[in-house]
Amino acid sequence: MTEMLPIVLVPGLICSPRIWAPLVPALWRHGPVTIANHVRDDSMAAIARRILQEAPPRFALSGHSMGGYIAFEIMRQAPERVAKLALLNTQARPDTPEATARRSSMVARAQGGGYRTVVDEFWANFVHPSRSGDAGLQQIVHDMADDVGVDAFLRQQNAIMTRPDSRPTLTAIRCPTLVFTCDTDNTVPPKLSQEMADGIAGSRLVVLENCGHLPQLERAEATAHALVEWLSG
């Protein structure tokens, strides 16, 4: 049997532990699972430091979307503590000026009482087109946004807008790495996952078909399978 490693899962923007809930039963068989709290600080450096303070001494790390940005920061601060790395639906690039402008607009509207409208804008690009009318899935997204709350959303957006470029540090990643994306991710295009996989020596790229930006909820069984293979490798 392979080594039982503690597993730290990091959610994305406006996502709470609910995003990982469908996968926990499968992952739990391979080691104790912790879902990191990423809502208390407003910079990647501070978020990563706090997660490291609360994490086991050595662990497998999986970050989804914003959680991937945090994972890169964890790798910069304490690479020796990460035994395995999984990067789901994320990218190594910093924000473009256009993306920062969109985020700034969302921040202003959320501060002005339009948080739910902002969440609906995320929903429009979050899932595969075939799931756009899935009221149950949309409710989970709204529930997660409520879990996070407006104040934490503002902190998260600041952290994302000011995050560093992680491309120069890809070659420094030495642990077994899974790069996972979906063919219809309209939030973080799959080509950006290919870029990460090309930069991380020995990494494995998995592209899940017929899925958008939320594979843990949209195609939980296939996503769990990929992560179990990563943990077992």
Would the pTM count as exceeding 0.85? yes
Give the whole-angstrom CA distance, residue 91 versus residue 211: 17
Q: How far is CA 4 from CA 31, 207, 223, in A?
A: 5, 26, 20
Q: What is the mean pLDDT of the chain?
A: 96
Flag whether pLDDT at 224 surpasses 60: yes
| Biggest CA-to-CA distance, the chain | 54
Flag whether pLDDT at 233 surpasses 60: yes
For residue 127, what pLDDT is reported?
Answer: 94
For residue 215, what pLDDT is reported?
Answer: 98
Once rounded to an integer, what is the mean pLDDT over residues 198-220? 98
Q: Where are the beta strands (DSSP E) in the chain?
A: 7-10, 33-35, 59-64, 82-88, 177-182, 204-208
- Can you read off the two tokens belonging to residue 127? 């899932």
For residue 188, what pLDDT is reported?
Answer: 96
Radius of gyration (C-alpha) of the chain in whole angstroms: 16
- Percent above pLDDT 70 for the chain: 99
Once rounded to an integer, what is the mean pLDDT over residues 99-114? 97
Give the whole-angstrom CA distance, residue 209 versus residue 224: 14
Which residues have CB under 8 Å from 152's CB, separation 6+? 39, 40
Flag whether pLDDT at 180 surpasses 50: yes
Which pLDDT band holds residue 2 (cuts at 50, 70, 90)?
low
- Percent above pLDDT 90 for the chain: 97
Flag whether pLDDT at 59 surpasses 50: yes
Flag whether pLDDT at 1 surpasses 50: no
CA contacts within 13 A on the Cβ side of 171? 1
**pLDDT tens-digit readout, 115-157:** 999 999 999 899 999 999 999 999 999 999 999 999 999 999 9
**pLDDT tens-digit readout, 23-47:** 999 999 999 999 999 999 999 999 9
| CATH fold group of domain 1-233 | Rossmann fold (3.40.50)
Which residues have CB under 8 Å from 200's CB, separation 6+? 170, 171, 173, 177, 179
Give the whole-angstrom CA distance, residue 179 versus residue 195: 10
**Helix ranges, 55-134 (H):** 66-77, 97-111, 115-126
Give the whole-angstrom CA distance, residue 17 versus residue 27: 14
